[in-house]
Structure 1
Amino acid sequence: MTAVEEKSGTPADDARGAGVLQRAFAVIRALGASQVEGSRVTALAKAVGLTQATVHRLLQGLIAEGVVEQDESTKRYRLSVDFFALAAQAGNPSGMRTLCRPALLRLCASLGDTIFLLVKSSFDAVCLDMCEGPFPIRSFTGDVGGRVALGVGQGSLAILAFQPEAEREEIIRFNVPRLRSYGVLDEVYLRTEIERVRKLGYAGRNTGVLEGMAGVAVPILDQNGCAVGALSVGTLAARLTEDRLPTIVELLKRQAEIIGPQTNPFDVAVRRPMHGLTRAMTTQPLA
């Protein structure tokens, strides 16, 4: 047996592995405590009692796993929306979810249909919350924590249509091959739908991908006019009549306009322009 073999899998190795895990969770907890404004390496190191070099290494590992992100403008770290998408399946709310929950309840009670809250996560839309109506429906994201490529379904289309132009183009370029798997979506169709949504201010066309299902969605816009999420109604196609559509759109827009100005740019569920793209495509050290 070699010296390497003798050393591998020893109690000392297990203890070192457990120590790294404990330090990583200490950093995660510290980030959770400073989630509103984010935190710098110096502050995190002081909070967890580790050196800055150690904390920086731990942060890079957590970024590579997608549970931590760094704001490109402030260089502050915070927990990512992917971390929350996992936590959300256990019922843990974020600021965005807490902010929007009353609106979901009001819309569900008024319309009698299922209401979804979607947010952007890199090239996807994640279902952050939902309020189920009495009608059995199917959706692209499924339950809370589910995700779908941006451009598929009304909610994710509403988010994509109101991204900054440069980011929108990158998402389209990356997602078009993914959309083809749905059979009825291509780049021409997607761009046509995006222009239609931007003109109307909502997404409401039944693509026919989910037979018998229909939906309407409006973007939740921040103060810069960028979509940080979407409110979406999922219903039976027979219930989405031409007469009923304007009422649904008006109710959705009214709630979205209330929520938008209250969104926190440092909320775990709110992405800054291009940040989700760069985090997903690079693992190089950040300054």
Structure 2
Amino acid sequence: MATTTHHDDPAPGSTGTPGTGMLARAFAVLRALAGMQQDGARVTRLAKTVGLTQGTVHRILQTLIVEGMVEQDEQSKLYRLSVDFFALAAQAGNPNGLRTLCRPALLRLCASLGDTIFLLAKNGFDAVCVDLCEGPFPIRSFTGDIGGRVALGVGQGSLAILAFLPEAEREEIIRFNVPRIRGYGVLDEVYLRTEIERVRQLGYAGRSSGVLDGMAGVAVPVLDRNGIAVAALSVGTLASRLGDDRLPMVVELLRRQAEAIGPQTNPFDAALRRPMQALAAVAVSERIG
């Protein structure tokens, strides 16, 4: 009786060297998943995209799941790249992280302006203070110290981030946050949408919101290569120090630093995806060090 031996599909671009075929196929599947990350993917779609049989793709996916690089939703059965994959990419792509990348800019701005400088990052429906450099003037802020958070849309820094998020994401956040921000008194949906449009036109958020008496601030978004806000640089100061004569200079200094930082940000950085977890990791590292 004749027997048949199963052969996997030839790997796209494979050199034929033992072991490279499976590795090439695995990378092809990972790249395809990266392009389908938002919606997730089924085996049939992946197989068609990478030019392999469904059986081969299924075996590769199961291996990648065991290695922690891919996850499958229990209900939808859709495959996506895992959190561990992004954490690995973050370590490789930017070992120093957002805080280290931005720290020199915070120090320069604080020294030049003599005011407190905040670095904020998006965390779900909130903005989190990832780092700050304190100036000589006693101030109050919405986020307070490092690790403090505020609903996106409240305060200049979080408003600068919200205004430059993709439209669909921005609308979802507005719907969710409007009931939360009403507790601040002067804020409602009309006000929020008006301010967002204003920030998008000007390129910055400022000055006094009227919520913190005697305080004022101005913030600019840190935009990635696609023009989407990944963070914000914000100045917090006394209202008397941010008049019409000084505002343009402050905005220009913030903008220069933000424009220099933006292209260097790593989209896989844990501080951008999960800033609270990243802060916890930094705290542990500092204690060990």
Q: Compute the TM-score of the two structures, normalised by the length of structure 2.
A: 0.65
Q: Deviations over 1:142-199 (max 9, x none)?
A: 0000000000000000000000000000000000000000011000000000000000
Counterpart residue number, 1:138: 140
Q: Deviations over 1:41-73 (max 9, x none)?
A: 9568559xxxx9xx979x99xxxxxxxxxxx99
User: Counterpart amino acid of 2:159?
Assistant: L
- Structure 2: any 5+ residue segments left out of the alignment? 1-33, 35-60, 88-94, 275-289
Identity of aligned residues (%): 75
Q: Which range moves more in the overlay, 237-246 or 262-271?
A: 262-271
Q: Is the 8 A contact 2:71 2:82 kept in 1?
A: no
Matching residue within 192, 195, 200 for 2:194:
192
Matches within 5 A, 1:1-287: 45=66, 75-78=81-84, 95-271=97-273
Question: Which stretches of structure 1, 4 residues or longer, exceed 6 Å deviation after superposition?
Answer: none
CA drift of 1:205 comes to: 2.9
- Structure 1: any 5+ residue segments left out of the alignment? 1-36, 61-71, 82-92, 273-287
Q: Deviations over 1:230-284 (max 9, x none)?
A: 0000000010010000000000000000000000010012249xxxxxxxxxxxx
SS in 2 for 1:269: helix
Give the 3 Å change call, closer, same or farther, for CA 140–76 of structure 1 in structure 2. same
Cα distance in structure 2, aligned partners of 1:227 and 1:76:
23
Count residues in correspondence. 205
Q: Is the 8 A contact 1:115 1:234 kept in 2?
A: yes
Cα distance in structure 1, aligned partners of 2:84 and 2:96:
13
SS in 2 for 1:225: coil
User: Counterpart amino acid of 1:76?
Assistant: S
Give the 3 Å change call, closer, same or farther, for CA 80–207 of structure 1 in structure 2. farther
Cα distance in structure 1, aligned partners of 2:273 and 2:189:
24
Give the 3 Å change call, closer, same or farther, for CA 202–43 of structure 1 in structure 2. same
User: Counterpart amino acid of 1:235?
Assistant: T
Cα distance in structure 1, aligned partners of 2:143 and 2:86:
19
When the two chains are superposed, the root-mean-square deviation of aligned CA atoms in Å is 2.9
Q: Compute the TM-score of the two structures, normalised by the length of structure 1.
A: 0.66
SS in 2 for 1:204: strand
Cα distance in structure 2, aligned partners of 1:41 and 1:106:
49
